[in-house]
């Protein structure tokens, strides 16, 4: 994308807003971002009921999530170009309006095909909201207030996906899955009205030619990568020809995009921005941050449900504990953000690693207090990391490039989340199978331990019932080991990013 000339110098853009106007802009764009964030994981709660209502298989219903993520990943990098040509106000209003209308049709969908189509529109219209809102906040606030503004905005980015599944699950139990979508519609209308009233009417900077080759190459790479990550475990990864072809297409797309970007005069994304050291390091760190952000929310509920037998209401409270911790973390970050940003990120990633170490010690007798404590600590760490990370990444970035750079920033956050969730699930399934095969070798009449009265009473290997009971218990224990291994991977990723944090420069205000 070509460099564009801003409408006015950055100092003028900041000075022309009063503190009240800035606060109103911050509140409205954060509210719009939170609405979109609520739909990110809300489908994970209502998938079983949707599957039954729409008579879909497990593989078929999974496309409701997969293609929504794909649509978001494709449109997110377009945020800079859209803003250059149509202006921030139009893009935000059109995005919120389209997102709200698509959400209505999601709740009204009568077939799986129409639901998937509306979820694609929902992801496409909502994709520019987060990066553009981030750019608006960084632009209207002076640099010395970025920490406070980013802390408030971060609540919408992080807490929306936390509380969306909680309220969506309650409405699904009370009524049906459609109300998980309908509950968002009134707030979407309010958000549109607030944005219409608050956002200043700024014209587009100037028309910029769209780089179709770069866009299509990047879209091919991102779409194939997302599909490979989501469907890989179901299809046995590279033992499956479709997954192998999808991976090859992703590699080809990235290669074509890289070559075209280096050689084109006006590429889709400006690689010259990577000369900014903090921005480049911030992209790497936010990818790891995305890897750690949603993974526990995906891994913990099925563990608590299938292995420990906790009801959905209790599982929802565990998720809410993470949201409560995030609130504490963002409030603390308003103070930590005044310090060296590397300090806040170091504390946050260390807390993530300690929580991973704590979860790696779980067993079949884990208590609700242990789970709530791990979730709460993770929530605090999310807030502590986010504010200094955003502040340090864009501290030295020219405001002219905020839309493009924030789009790439949030794109990598989402891709990191998809990669690590797929990797964690793969570790869970593969190590569960390996440990089941190892443990089942000891379940034999020739093992003297099987002659103990307490064991023989539960696992009578001479009967079908006893064999089934033994197989069920070994399967539970093997699955627990699989979860422990995935939590160990989470801990390793948390600590591994710490050296990169201290390569970030701390530019003076």
What's residue 207's pLDDT? 62
- Residue 438 or 466, more confident: 438
What's residue 29's pLDDT? 86
pLDDT tens, 164-196? 767 776 777 777 778 888 888 888 898 888 888
What's residue 210's pLDDT? 67
What's residue 350's pLDDT? 92
Interval 79-89 mean pLDDT? 80
Q: How confident is the model at residue 101 (pLDDT cuts 50, 70, 90)?
A: very high
Report d(CA 443, CA 465) in Å as an integer. 14
What's residue 507's pLDDT? 61
Fold match between domain 1-205 and domain 275-509:
yes
Coil, strand or helix: which one is 110? coil
Interval 354-367 mean pLDDT? 86
Report d(CA 486, CA 298) in Å as an integer. 12
Q: How confident is the model at residue 290 (pLDDT cuts 50, 70, 90)?
A: confident
What's residue 458's pLDDT? 65
Q: How confident is the model at residue 325 (pLDDT cuts 50, 70, 90)?
A: confident
Above 70 in pLDDT, residue 461? Answer: no
Report d(CA 172, CA 184) in Å as an integer. 13
pLDDT tens, 273-283? 788 888 888 88
Count of CB atoms situated within 10 Å of the CB of 456: 14
- Residue 445 or 3, more confident: 445
Task: Catalogue the long-range contacts made by 248-254 (C-beta closer than 8 Å, 24 or more residues apart).
Answer: 249/220, 249/221, 249/224, 250/220, 250/221, 250/224, 250/225, 251/221, 252/220, 252/221, 253/217, 253/218, 253/219, 253/220, 253/221, 253/222, 253/224, 254/217, 254/221
Residue 357 near residue 491, CB atoms below 8 Å: yes
pLDDT tens, 250-276? 888 888 888 887 777 777 677 777 888
CATH architecture entry for 275-509: Up-down Bundle (1.20)
What's residue 495's pLDDT? 92
Q: What ranges do the domains of the chain cover?
A: 1-205, 212-265, 275-509
Rg (CA), the chain: 24
Above 60 in pLDDT, residue 53? Answer: yes
Give the residue among 481, 459, 479 at the shortest CA–CA distance from 468.
459
Above 70 in pLDDT, residue 206? Answer: no
Largest CA distance in the chain: 83
Q: How confident is the model at residue 334 (pLDDT cuts 50, 70, 90)?
A: confident
- Report the percent of the chain where pLDDT is more than 70: 86
- Report the percent of the chain where pLDDT is more than 90: 3
The pair of structure tokens assigned to 298 is 């995906």
Interval 214-241 mean pLDDT? 78
Above 80 in pLDDT, residue 18? Answer: no
- Residue 66 or 257, more confident: 257
CATH of 1-205 among 3.20.20.140, 1.20.1250.20, 3.40.250.10, 3.40.50.720: 1.20.1250.20
Range with the poorest average pLDDT among 190-199, 296-305, 475-484 = 296-305
Give the residue among 194, 33, 168 at the shortest CA–CA distance from 106.
168
Above 50 in pLDDT, residue 330? Answer: yes
Above 60 in pLDDT, residue 7? Answer: no
**Mean of the per-residue pLDDT values of the chain:** 79
Residue 496 near residue 365, CB atoms below 8 Å: no
Give the residue among 103, 93, 170 at the shortest CA–CA distance from 128.
93
Above 60 in pLDDT, residue 228? Answer: yes
pLDDT tens, 373-395? 888 888 888 888 888 888 888 88
């Amino acid at each position: 994308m070509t460099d564009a000339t801003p409408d006015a110098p950055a100092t003028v853009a900041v000075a022309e807003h009063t503190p009240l106007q800035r606060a109103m802009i911050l509140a409205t764009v954060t509210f719009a971002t939170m609405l979109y964030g609520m739909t990110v994981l809300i489908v994970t709660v209502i998938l079983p009921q949707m599957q039954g209502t729409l008579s879909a298989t497990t593989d078929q219903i999974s496309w409701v999530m997969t293609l929504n993520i794909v649509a978001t990943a494709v449109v997110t990098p377009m945020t800079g170009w859209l803003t250059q040509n149509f202006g921030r106000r139009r893009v935000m209003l059109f995005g919120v309006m389209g997102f709200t209308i698509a959400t209505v049709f999601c709740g009204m969908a009568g077939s799986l095909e129409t639901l998937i189509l509306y979820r694609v529109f929902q992801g496409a219209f909502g994709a520019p909201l987060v990066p553009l809102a981030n750019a608006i906040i960084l632009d209207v606030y002076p640099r010395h207030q970025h920490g406070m503004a980013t802390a408030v905005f971060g609540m919408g980015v992080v807490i929306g996906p936390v509380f969306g599944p909680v309220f969506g699950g309650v409405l699904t139990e009370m009524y049906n899955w459609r109300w998980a979508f309908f509950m968002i519609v009134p707030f979407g209308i309010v958000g549109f009205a607030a944005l219409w009233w608050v956002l200043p009417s700024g014209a587009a900077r100037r028309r910029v030619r769209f780089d179709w080759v770069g866009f299509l190459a990047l879209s091919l790479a991102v779409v194939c990568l997302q599909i490979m990550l989501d469907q890989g475990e179901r299809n046995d990864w590279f033992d499956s020809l479709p997954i192998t072809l999808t991976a090859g297409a992703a590699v080809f797309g990235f290669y074509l995009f890289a070559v075209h970007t280096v050689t084109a005069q006006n590429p889709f994304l400006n690689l010259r921005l990577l000369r900014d050291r903090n921005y480049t390091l911030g992209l790497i760190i936010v990818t790891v941050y995305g890897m750690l952000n949603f993974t526990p929310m995906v891994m913990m509920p099925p563990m608590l449900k299938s292995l420990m037998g906790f009801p959905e209401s209790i599982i929802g409270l565990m998720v809410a504990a993470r949201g409560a911790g995030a609130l504490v973390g963002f409030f603390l970050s308003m103070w930590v953000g005044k310090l060296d940003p590397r300090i806040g990120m170091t504390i946050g990633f260390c807390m993530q690693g300690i929580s991973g170490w704590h979860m790696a010690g779980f067993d079949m007798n884990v208590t609700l207090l242990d789970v709530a404590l791990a979730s709460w600590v993770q929530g605090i760490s999310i807030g502590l990391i986010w504010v200094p990370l955003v502040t340090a990444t864009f501290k030295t970035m020219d405001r002219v490039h905020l839309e493009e750079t924030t789009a790439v920033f949030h794109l990598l956050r989402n891709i990191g989340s998809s990669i690590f969730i797929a990797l964690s699930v793969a570790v869970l399934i593969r190590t569960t199978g390996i440990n089941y095969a190892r443990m089942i070798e000891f379940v034999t009449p020739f093992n003297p331990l099987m002659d103990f009265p307490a064991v023989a009473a539960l696992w009578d290997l001479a009967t079908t019932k006893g064999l089934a009971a033994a197989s069920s218990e070994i399967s539970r224990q093997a699955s627990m080991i699989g979860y422990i291994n995935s939590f160990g991977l989470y801990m390793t990723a948390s600590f591994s990013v710490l050296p990169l944090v201290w390569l970030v420069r701390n530019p003076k205000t």
